[in-house]
Every structure is written in C-alpha cells, then in structure tokens.
C-alpha cells in the first residue's frame, strides 16, 4: 500500500548505534485508498471499540520508515464522569512499514476523547493528538427524527410564507393569470412572478391545469407560463443559498410580533410571511445539524459517491420531489447537504435534473380525470422537463465546471471539505437557475410548434353520452383557494348567462312563426338556470365561510347579485312570455308588418345588451359598463318611441295592430325589462367598484 505523509511536528534528533545522529519524527499517515487512514476524527458508539486503529508512522530524516520504534499512546481528555475508557495497547512498536497502531475502547459518555501519541528518549518529545467522537447508541434514530423534524419545519415555513404572500397578493395573481395576453415573453414573466409568490412550480402547474380545464385560459397560453414557472421556482433556491440560518430565530420573533400585534389583515399576512421565512431557515438549521454525523459515516459517503452516476441521481431526485411535491423543498435539502460538504456539484446536478422531472409528476397526477385541454398542460410540462434533462445530462462535468466558474469562490486556506461546504450551496442554486433559464430560452421560440405537437399526441375525446345536467366549473377542492374559487364561480355565472341569452333568443320564434316546439327547450333551459342559481349560491356561501379578506366576501356578494339578475331575466321569459306564446300560437292573430319589424329590432338590441352584460361581468371592464348604461338610456327612449308608433297605428285603425295590441305591448314591455335587468349587471359592477358614489 502506498502511503502519503502529513508532517505535523518539528524533527528531533536521537543518538543511535550509528555514528551519525538521525532525526526521528512521527506523522499521521494518509492512504489514497482508505478514507481517514490515520484513525483521527473518527466516530463510534459509546462503549465500543473504534472501527479503525489510531495509526502513527515513524520516519527518519530520509523519509524512510523506522522499524521497532516505541510509540506511547496516552489519554489527554475525556467527557466528564466517563467509565470504561481504555487504550488497548498504550505502548506499540512500529512494524516493518514504520506504522504503530492501537485500538481505543470508548467510555460510557458521549462526546470528544483526545489521545496523544508520543516518542520518548534523550530528546524533546514529538507529540500528535488524535480525536475520537463518541455517539449515543441511538444516534441514527436521533438523526432521522432531526431530519424529519427539520424537513417538517422547512415545509411548514414554506407553506406559511406562501400563504402569507398569496393572501397579500391574491388579486394580482388572479388577474395576471386569468387575463393573459398571447405575448409569450409576458407569459414567462407572469409565470415566474406567480411561482415566486407561491413558492412552487408544481402548484403553479396544477393551477394552470385547473384554469385550462375550467376555460379560464387556452392551452397555448399556458406554455409560456409553464416555462416562466420553472424560472420562478429557482428564486426560492437562491434565497435558501443565502445562508440566513443564523438569523432564523430573529425572523421568527419579528414575524410572530408583526402577525400577533397587527390589526390590519395586510400587516398580519406580511408577518406570516416573515414568520414562515424564519421557520423555513430554522428547519434548514435543524436538518444541517442533524446531518453532521454523516460527514464521517463512511457507508453514507460511499452511497453519495455513487450518485455521481447521473441516471441514479436523476431517478432519486425525481422520486423524492414527486413524494414531497415541491422542487423548492428538495433543492433546499440538497443545499443543506452541500453546507455539510456531503455532495459534490457533479453529484448534485443529476439530483437537480431529477427534481425538475419530479415537478412534472405532480402535474400529471393533477390532470387525471380532467378534460383534454388540462391533460395537454400536464403533458407539455413533462415534455419541457424531459427535453431539458436530455439537453444537460450528456455534459454534466462541463456544466459543473461552468457553474463553478460563474459562482463565488471560497476564502483561501480552507480544507477541502470546508471549502466545498462554503461554495456548494450557491453553486447548486446557480445550477438550478441556469438550467431553467436555458431551457426557457431554448424552448420559447418553438412554443407554437410545440402546442401543435401536443395537440396531435393527446387524442380528442369521444362525444360524451347524454348525462344529467350538472355544474361544469364549481370544484369543491378549490374552496380554500378563494381567488381561484371565485374565478370558477364567475365562469359558472357566465354559463348561466349564456343559457338566459339562448332563452331570450328563442322566445321570439313562437310569436313570429307560431311554432311551440321550441318552448319545451326554453323551459328546460329555465330549469338549468334555476339549478345553476342554487349551486352557485351554495358554492359562494362556502367560500365566504372561509378565512378570507373582506374584499373577497364583497366580491362573492357581487356575484350573487349578478346571479339574481340573470335569474330574473329567465323568470320574465318563463312566467310572462311562455304562457303568452302558447296562447298566441292557438289563435289566428298576426302582427302587422311594421309591428313585427319593431319587435324584431328591439329583440336584437335586447340580445346585444345581454351579450354586453356577460362581457362586462367576465372582464370587469368599468368603461364598457359605463357605455352599457348609456346604451340602455338609448334603448329606453327607443322603446317609448316604438310604443308611440304602435299607438299611432291603433289610431289609424290598422286591423292587425288592433288585434295584436295586447301581446305586442306585453312582449315589448318584457323585452324592455330584460334589457334593464341586463343593464343592472353593469350597475352592480360600477357601484361596487366605486363605493359611496351613485352611478
């Protein structure tokens, strides 16, 4: 076995049988093939013999081994009240390779044991100090619960920070996601921002799946957001790499004080965010302290070395991230390993690649039992990640070298393990960022082509069999996310409004062609409107029963008022016009040509006003709401003018006008009331957007 030598003391002289004096020295030997060959700084359980002996090499001034030279091992210090501590051979003679070795039996107490190795003679002593660390017998159990507890605090802190930020910025997030343009760069920015706020690209992708499923956005719009979300999640890793663990308790104290003492909801949420941030870093501190014994646990180090096989690392990273459903949390764990010097960058990169694949698993699970559009979002996210991994897996050593070149260097003079622990956290965070930014730059120009590919890969769904009418957007699992739940409720209200719009469109036919078969369909739509009314109100009441902002409660009530307006339009048709239409179809009366044209014109304007109401409600557009009110004034004057013209025909004794006058006026009056109800949707928006003002 070839030995390397570390000189740890000054040389000394001894007079031997030879005429000249020879310098004798002792060193701690190092072997390239054996970790911690000298036995210094090894760990063992209390009361057990050390796994490795303490080794000393005796050498002369020519660096040749000295044979049969006595080395004395003595106790320097032990933990207090120790019992059973023993040096097996206090005096050992060097063998043919110059090595003198002895085993240590540790005492009953955990802690640090110091043993000296000396040579003696008619010269100054040469002394080496060895340290042995005694662990409790249950150290593995304590390590596991430390890791589990630290990870629990880490995830709890991340959730608290996410909740605080979401509640403080929920409106902005919802408006950003639900009113996106088709500009890909803007979509990337929005995805990055939202993910930075909610701290998880998995959560953003799950949200996209629900948005696309509910019709809040199109599949093509989601591609840029997916890429941006992957960039946003790297912000968390960069924050974690800042090594703020020393200030974690300060952040916990400040965050708790702000949350506990504040009266306003916004300040409370800021306090919750700071508190979550502190708990996150305190969890990292606990995990880091728990992992200290692993720095010297050889079986664990040997397993980590195997992680440099990229495919094993990718698999482990993917499975672990899918299990905890947060790539940010897994990257945080990698950074904790890095702070202990337990990973090399080349071993960390495959784990990072696997973590990125793991986020796609969460999206796939979320897309189960969803429609085709939502499945395409999950598939797109998975493809992006797979493409990214395939781009990087073949040049991991070069990628690691690039990251090392762009990352801060450690202070000079540190030992290898300590230097690695100093620089690796930032390198891991930078590798995570560079991977996702590079993937976005490479994929963004081809999102349109990619959308076409995914459209071909996901088969079209078969035409569903007729099923009982039910809600389409109201998902109970999103009740606790008020921003998303309110958006889904709005989508259902729009669906309700479209049914009312169809009822208004169809009700004119029996009066013009005396065909009553359409009335059955109108009555069926009225039942759907009533069903949606009840379900939407129930859903909104559940939302308001959650711990949400007062502004969210007010928005829910605004939606309920809009539901009432649409319901009243449906009632006007079912209770006023359907009975009249049935009676009208049984007699031989007809409208005059002029009367028929007037009714048709006003019916078209009523339909337009309903379309505007749906658009104003969907887009929350105050300018269009004001324009809609102005239109209603015109329609009201028009209705008065049309009634005046009808009375003119009665005065002129136009036969058809006289015979149809009652139905004509009833139909005109009902259409005018429906137009007013539609306009009320705009009034509601304006009044609630400008409290205290009379609009």
How confident is the model over 116-127, as pLDDT tens digits?
999 887 555 678
Can you give the pLDDT at residue 325? 64
Taking the C-alpha atoms of residue 428 and residue 415, their distance in angstroms, rounded to an integer, is 20
C-alpha distances (whole Å) from 490 to each of 206, 319, 486, 674, 690 are 20, 37, 6, 21, 20
Can you give the pLDDT at residue 77? 93
pLDDT digits over 27-76, tens only?
899 876 676 788 888 888 999 999 889 999 998 888 889 899 999 999 99
Q: Can you say whether the dihedral through the CA atoms of 372, 374, 376, 382 is positive or negative?
A: negative
Q: At 78, give phi and psi (nearest 5°).
A: -140, 165
Give 641: exposed, middle or buried? Use CB within 10 Å, 0-12, 13-18, 19+: exposed
Can you give the pLDDT at residue 88? 93
Residue 183 pLDDT > 90, yes or no?
A: no
Cα 73 off chain centre by: 57
Taking the C-alpha atoms of residue 690 and residue 644, their distance in angstroms, rounded to an integer, is 37
Q: Max Cα separation, the chain? A: 152
Closest CA to 168 of 286, 259, 281: 259
Can you give the pLDDT at residue 655? 47
The residues spanned by each domain of the chain are 3-137, 155-245+287-457, 476-689
Taking the C-alpha atoms of residue 102 and residue 194, their distance in angstroms, rounded to an integer, is 61
Q: Which two tokens stand for residue 684?
A: 């509601």
Can you give the pLDDT at residue 217? 67
Average pLDDT of every residue of the chain: 79
Residue 513 pLDDT > 50, yes or no?
A: yes
Closest CA to 331 of 155, 148, 145, 149: 155
Taking the C-alpha atoms of residue 86 and residue 80, their distance in angstroms, rounded to an integer, is 15
Please give the average per-residue pLDDT across 629-634, as a whole number: 86
Q: Which two tokens stand for residue 529?
A: 């409107």
C-alpha distances (whole Å) from 249 to each of 282, 286, 336 are 7, 12, 18
Q: Establish how many alpha carbons lie within 13 A of residue 524's alpha carbon, considering only the half-sphere containing its beta carbon.
A: 8
Taking the C-alpha atoms of residue 117 and residue 146, their distance in angstroms, rounded to an integer, is 36
Please give the average per-residue pLDDT across 428-439, as a whole number: 89
Can you give the pLDDT at residue 692? 47
Residue 673 pLDDT > 50, yes or no?
A: yes
Can you give the pLDDT at residue 366? 61
Can you give the pLDDT at residue 55? 94
pLDDT digits over 352-403, tens only?
888 888 877 766 766 666 667 667 777 887 888 888 888 888 888 899 899 9
Can you give the pLDDT at residue 464? 52
Cα 153 off chain centre by: 17
| 3-137 carries CATH number 2.60.40.10 | yes
Task: Give 384's contacts (C-beta < 8 A, 6+ positions apart).
Answer: 226, 227, 230, 360, 439, 443
Higher-pLDDT residue of 562, 192: 562
Please give the average per-residue pLDDT across 469-490, as a whole number: 82
Least confidently predicted of 3-12, 81-90, 184-193, 283-292: 3-12
Residue 298 pLDDT > 70, yes or no?
A: no
The third-level CATH classification (topology) of the domain covering 476-689 is Methane Monooxygenase Hydroxylase; Chain G, domain 1 (1.20.58)
pLDDT digits over 70-92, tens only?
999 999 999 999 999 999 999 99
Confidence label for 424 from pLDDT (cuts 50, 70 and 90): confident
Other CB atoms closer than 10 Å to residue 492's CB: what's the count? 22
Please give the average per-residue pLDDT across 302-319, as a whole number: 74
Residue 21 pLDDT > 60, yes or no?
A: no
pLDDT winner (highest mean) among 353-362, 421-430, 568-577 = 568-577
Query: H or E element: which one contains 447?
Result: helix 447-457
């Amino acid at each position: 076995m070839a030995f390397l030598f570390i000189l740890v003391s000054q040389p000394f002289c001894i007079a031997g049988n030879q005429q000249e004096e020879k310098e004798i020295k002792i060193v701690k030997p190092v072997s390239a093939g054996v970790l911690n060959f000298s036995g210094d700084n090894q760990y063992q359980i209390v009361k057990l013999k050390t796994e490795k002996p303490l080794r000393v090499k005796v050498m002369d001034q020519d660096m040749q081994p000295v044979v049969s030279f006595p080395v004395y091992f003595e106790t320097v210090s032990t933990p207090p009240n120790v019992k059973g501590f023993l040096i097996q051979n206090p005096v050992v003679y060097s063998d043919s390779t110059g090595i003198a070795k002895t085993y240590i039996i540790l005492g009953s107490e955990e802690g640090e044991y110091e043993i000296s190795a000396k040579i003696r003679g008619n010269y100054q002593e040469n002394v080496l100090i060895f340290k042995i660390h005694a662990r409790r017998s249950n150290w593995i159990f304590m390590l596991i619960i430390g890791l589990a507890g630290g990870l629990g605090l880490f995830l709890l802190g991340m959730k608290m920070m996410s909740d605080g930020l979401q509640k403080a910025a929920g409106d902005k997030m919802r408006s950003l996601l639900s009113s996106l343009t088709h500009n890909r760069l803007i979509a990337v920015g929005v995805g990055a921002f939202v993910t930075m706020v909610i701290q998880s690209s998995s959560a953003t992708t799950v949200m996209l799946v629900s948005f696309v499923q509910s019709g809040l956005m199109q599949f093509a719009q989601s591609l840029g957001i997916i890429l941006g979300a992957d960039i946003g999640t790297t912000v968390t890793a960069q924050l974690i790499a800042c090594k703020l663990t020393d200030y974690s308790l300060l952040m916990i104290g400040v965050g708790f004080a702000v949350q506990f003492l504040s009266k306003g909801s916004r300040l409370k949420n800021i306090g919750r965010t700071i508190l979550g941030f502190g708990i996150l870093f305190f969890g990292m501190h606990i995990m880091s302290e728990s992992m200290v014994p692993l720095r010297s646990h050889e079986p664990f180090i040997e397993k980590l070395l195997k992680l440099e096989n990229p495919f094993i690392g990718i698999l482990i990273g993917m499975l672990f991230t899918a299990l905890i459903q947060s790539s940010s949390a897994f990257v945080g764990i990698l950074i904790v390993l890095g702070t202990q010097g337990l990973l090399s960058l080349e071993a960390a990169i495959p784990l990072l690649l696997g973590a990125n694949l793991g986020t796609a698993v969460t999206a796939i699970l979320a897309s189960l039992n969803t429609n085709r559009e939502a499945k395409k979002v999950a598939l797109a996210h998975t493809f992006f990640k797979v493409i990214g991994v395939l781009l990087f897996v073949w040049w991991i050593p070069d990628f690691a070298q690039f990251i090392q070149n762009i990352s801060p260097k450690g202070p000079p003079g540190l030992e290898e393990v300590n230097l690695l622990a100093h620089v690796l956290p930032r390198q891991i965070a930078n590798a995570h960022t560079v991977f996702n930014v590079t993937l976005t730059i490479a994929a963004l120009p081809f999102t349109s082509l990619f959308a076409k590919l995914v459209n071909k890969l996901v088969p079209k769904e078969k035409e569903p069999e007729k099923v009982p009418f039910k809600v389409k957007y109201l998902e109970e699992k999103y009740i606790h996310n008020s921003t998303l739940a309110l958006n889904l409720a709005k989508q259902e209200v729009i669906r309700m409004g479209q049914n009312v719009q169809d009822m208004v469109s169809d009700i004119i036919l029996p009066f013009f062609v005396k065909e009553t078969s359409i009335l059955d369909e109108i009555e069926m739509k009225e039942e759907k409107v009533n069903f949606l009314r009840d379900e939407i109100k129930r859903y909104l009441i559940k939302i308001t029963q959650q711990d949400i902002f007062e502004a969210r409660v007010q928005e829910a009530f605004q939606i309920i008022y809009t539901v009432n307006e649409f319901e009243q339009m449906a009632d006007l048709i079912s209770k006023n016009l359907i009975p009249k239409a049935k009676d009208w179809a049984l007699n031989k009366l007809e409208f005059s040509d002029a009367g028929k044209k007037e009714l048709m014109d006003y019916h078209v304007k009523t339909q337009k006003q309903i379309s505007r109401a749906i658009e104003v409600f969907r887009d929350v557009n105050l300018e269009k709401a004001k324009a809609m009110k102005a239109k209603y004034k015109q329609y009201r004057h028009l209705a008065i003018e049309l009634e005046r013209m009808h009375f003119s025909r009665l005065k002129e004794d136009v036969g058809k006008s006289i015979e149809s006058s009652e139905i004509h006026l009833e139909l005109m009056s009902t259409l005018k009331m429906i137009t007013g109800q539609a306009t009320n949707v705009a009034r509601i928006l304006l009044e609630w957007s400008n409290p205290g003002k009379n609009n």
